[in-house]
Amino acid sequence: MNLLTFLLDFLLFCFHSMLIGLDLDQLVAMASQEEILYEDELRSRYGHLEKMTDLVAVWEVALSDGIHKIEFEHGTTSGKRVVYVDGKEALRRDWMFKLVGKETFSVGGTETKATINIDAVSGFAYEYTLEINGKSLKKYMENRSKTSNTWVINLDGVDCRIVLEKDTMDIWCNGKKMETAGEFVDDGTETHFTIGDHDCYIKAVSSGKRREGIIHSLIVDETEIPEAAE
């Protein structure tokens, strides 16, 4: 029994000696490092859950500079309202006592005006609608099909989304406004631009019919590209 006691005392003495040998700052630094690592690990694994908790609506909006994703969080207990555009926070309001109303923000490089309407349906149920430039999303997209043309083509392994705004004759490619040069030809006009080493132009000719108006066609390297439906 005395031998066992002696061995235990000896082990405790060795353990305390080891701790005394460590500097106090080193011990604090070790503890702090463990806390930071643990916190970072939690954030990386579960941080997205906080964002998704109050997610109530998601829309995709096709604009000249690209297709944008809009997400809306609405905390019906805290009144929190958060808008994300393409994954980035565009607007945040915390502790809103009024749960209904509207939030206005801009989308894309063209800074298009967007508004989310929050309306009470019944009890604690709410309806969320999106307006673009003062029109409902449905009406905006219907009108956009009349005021723009879109083509999608793969050039050098890259998908290119080319958009023509008919009212301004501006041309966009993958979110970038292109430099163009227009010229008159025998049967209409051609608006020229380049994508990398590829020569492109949009040709505008009259349809001969009042209801159809002017027909626009995209030509890339002397090949006509079919229009895409969005």
21 phi, psi to nearest 5 deg: -70, -20
pLDDT digits (tens, 9 = 90+) for 108-161: 988 999 999 999 998 788 999 999 999 999 999 999 988 999 999 999 999 999
Question: Which pTM does this prediction carry?
Answer: 0.70
% pLDDT > 90, the chain: 63
Q: Measure the CA–CA gap between 192 and 202, rounded to whole angstroms.
A: 7
pLDDT digits (tens, 9 = 90+) for 35-87: 343 444 434 444 444 555 789 999 999 999 999 999 999 998 888 999 999 99
- Nearest by Cα to 130 from 85, 162, 97: 85
- Nearest by Cα to 159 from 93, 103, 228, 99: 228
> How many residues would you count in the chain?
230
Q: Which amino acid is at 12?
A: L
Residue indicated by tokens 């079919």: 226
